[in-house]
Amino acid sequence: MLYPIATESRVVVNLSGIWKFMTDKEVEPIEVSQPLPTNEVVAVPASFNDQTVSKETRMHSGYFWYEKEFTIAKALRNERLVLRFGSATHEAWVYLNGKEITYHKGGFTPFEVEINNYLVDGPNRLTVRLSNLLDYTTLPVGNYSEEKDENGRIIRKVDENFDFFNYAGLHRPVNIYTTPRDYIEDIVIVPNVDLAAKKADVHFSIKTAGAFDEVRVTVLDEEGKQVAQASGNDTNISIDNVQLWQPLNAYLYTAKVEGVKGGETVDVYEESFGVRKVEVSSGKFLINGEPFYFKGFGKHEDTFVQGRGLNEAYNVLDINLMKQMGANSFRTSHYPYSEEMMRLCDREGIVVIDETPAVGLFHGFGFDLSGKNANSTWSVLKTTEAHEQVIRELIDRDKNHACVVLWSIANEPASHIEGAHEYFEPLFNLARQLDPQKRPCTFVNILMATPNADKCSDLVDVIALNRYYGWYLQTGDLSKAEEETRKELLEWQEKYPDKPIMYTEYGADTVAGFHSAYGEPFSEEYQEDYYRMNSKVFDEISNFVGEQLWNFADFQTKFGIQRVQGNKKGIFTREREPKMVVRYLSNRWNNIPNFGYKK
């Protein structure tokens, strides 16, 4: 799916701004043939939850409605007009002028629909019914329940089976874009790099709708100069003296794709791309043939007021903070991030582990890590259909991004329970089949899934571990935590000597401003001691290829006595103010090269 951009042949109309809003009490039907009966408003893109001063609205579980009027200029009415949602969390029914025009389930990937046949002259009314309900068939997984009040009204409740707040709404831009009636539908770009010859053969597969006499592909360098050109829907272009896309040193080419008819260009689309080679070999993660070391974070799309909504200013700030620290990567924990963030990472040279929203695949997940109901996980959860769908949609959306070097199929599933391998093997096969660039795949391993217990690690190219020795286990005892950290990593290395190992989460809740002469848990001193301990062990393990801590910044979670205003494992506060440990990590990471750290 192509990102909506304006070109010589395309126009983008942004529908972001103020929309009408209401929660659905489910007392009487909402008549979509009429304007929504509400005077409430919300901003788009953003979560609805933190824009309200009503606790009932903020914590609403169930259905809710958005509505906006728009007018299409007469000059555009003969064009193909497409309504596109960057995402709608988690389920959406879309109506235009009272008629249902599309439906989508899954809260973190885009969807679109042609609207020409539904438009009227003058104002058009766009109405969206959404649901934030999650259950044992959805991703993420939620614990759903319902009851009836004294009036017989259904009261719905979702208890998150994961440790972040269930923000919902129109989180990403809503646009109408135009194309000609004959148009470029999709572009697939696959670079094949000869590192020794400093040359790349780039394969372009162009999907078109309608009839063109010629499909022309022109590759431009960063200065806009033509590098090469070819024709055809399926073609190869050679680039000599190729400039590689490197971590923190991005170089982006532009593929200008033109559909030509009768000697005239009918449609134009421009797709930026980077040329780089990603592979796993002999316990190393190689980018452009060199052993890469991941330095960075697990993260969230999470800011004050906007919740999970797109905030491009925060995206820019976050990446600037990362680069200042010497970080080079992050994981899109625990769902696909906005396309705007992915495009920014391409431009800034930030390496991304791209993750599906498959979080909560662990029956009875809880802070105590008891896993008391875990044994029933793979018989109770019915998420296969949703999982297949999101793998398809994620790879379709992000297939051309140079920043994406690794697909994460899930976060912390019950991979130590019987049935896990049977569940995951077809999903790994699907991802490998779908990705035209054949990137490595992983899933993020939970603490209980030790080398002896885990049943799925044979499926992965990279062993990605979430570990909290010294926090959830051995709390406050960093000496014992160091022993356990070292012991397990050596066990993984012995079992899989040819697979890279990395930490995708490790951290300790830390209250900004709390200091302790004794290094007590929750103090800033303990957080630094914790990271120093882990760093010491990481440097001892030969095929340990990266450290992505948890978390970049404090973030909002569901209520619980283990959480005070959310999760405090951030090394920055939610406002992006640094905690004390940032100085230590900045010094460490700025002295670790991106390549060749582990010989």
Q: What is the pLDDT of residues 185-238, one digit of tens each?
A: 999 999 999 999 999 999 999 999 999 999 999 999 999 999 999 999 999 999
pLDDT of the residue at 288: 98
Q: Report the chain's terminal Cα–Cα distance, integer Å.
A: 40
- Flag whether pLDDT at 33 surpasses 70: yes
Task: Identify whether 571 is part of a domain.
Answer: no
pLDDT of the residue at 372: 66
Q: How far apart are CA 413 and CA 446, in angstroms?
A: 7
For position 25, which CATH number holds?
A: 2.60.120.260
Please indicate, yes or no, whether the overall pTM of this predicted structure exceeds 0.95: yes
pLDDT of the residue at 256: 98
Examine the domain organization and report whether 134 and 256 are in the same domain. no
Q: For the chain, give the mean pLDDT.
A: 97
- Flag whether pLDDT at 150 surpasses 90: no
Task: Identify whether 248 is part of a domain.
Answer: yes
Determine the average pLDDT of the residues in 156-184.
Answer: 97
Task: Identify whether 230 is part of a domain.
Answer: yes
Domain count, the chain: 2
Domain boundary residue among 273, 296, 324?
A: 273
Examine the domain organization and report whether 93 and 16 are in the same domain. yes
Task: Identify whether 172 is part of a domain.
Answer: yes
- Flag whether pLDDT at 368 surpasses 70: no
How does pLDDT run across 488-527, given as a tens digit for each residue? 999 999 999 999 999 999 999 999 999 999 999 999 999 9
Query: Is there a contact between 118 and 83 (Cβ–Cβ < 8 Å)?
Result: no
- Flag whether pLDDT at 275 surpasses 70: yes
pLDDT of the residue at 94: 98
Examine the domain organization and report whether 48 and 104 are in the same domain. yes
How does pLDDT run across 416-461, given as a tens digit for each residue? 999 999 999 999 999 999 999 999 999 999 999 999 999 999 999 9
Peptide bond into 175 cis (omega under 30): no
Task: Identify whether 65 is part of a domain.
Answer: yes
- Nearby residues of 56 by Cβ (< 8 Å), 6 or more positions away: 23
Residue range(s) defining the domain that contains residue 226: 183-273
Examine the domain organization and report whether 87 and 41 are in the same domain. yes
- Flag whether pLDDT at 52 surpasses 90: yes
Task: Identify whether 16 is part of a domain.
Answer: yes
Q: How far is CA 494 from CA 286, 498, 543, in A?
A: 21, 9, 10
Q: Mind telling me the catalytic residues?
A: 412, 505
Determine the average pLDDT of the residues in 390-415.
Answer: 98
Examine the domain organization and report whether 225 and 150 are in the same domain. no
Examine the domain organization and report whether 88 and 226 are in the same domain. no
Examine the domain organization and report whether 111 and 254 are in the same domain. no
Task: Identify whether 64 is part of a domain.
Answer: yes
Task: Identify whether 479 is part of a domain.
Answer: no
Examine the domain organization and report whether 194 and 164 are in the same domain. no
Examine the domain organization and report whether 34 and 98 are in the same domain. yes
- Flag whether pLDDT at 546 surpasses 70: yes
How does pLDDT run across 235-273, given as a tens digit for each residue? 999 999 999 999 999 999 999 999 999 999 999 999 999
Examine the domain organization and report whether 268 and 148 are in the same domain. no
Examine the domain organization and report whether 93 and 193 are in the same domain. no
How does pLDDT run across 583-592, given as a tens digit for each residue? 999 999 999 9
Domain boundary residue among 238, 258, 273?
A: 273
Examine the domain organization and report whether 32 and 136 are in the same domain. yes
pLDDT of the residue at 559: 86
pLDDT of the residue at 254: 98
pLDDT of the residue at 560: 82
- DSSP secondary structure, 147-185, as one string: EE-TTS-EEEEEEESSSS----B--S-EEEEEE-SSEEE
Domain boundary residue among 179, 211, 227?
A: 179
Residue showing tokens 């790099």: 193
For position 235, which CATH number holds?
A: 2.60.40.10
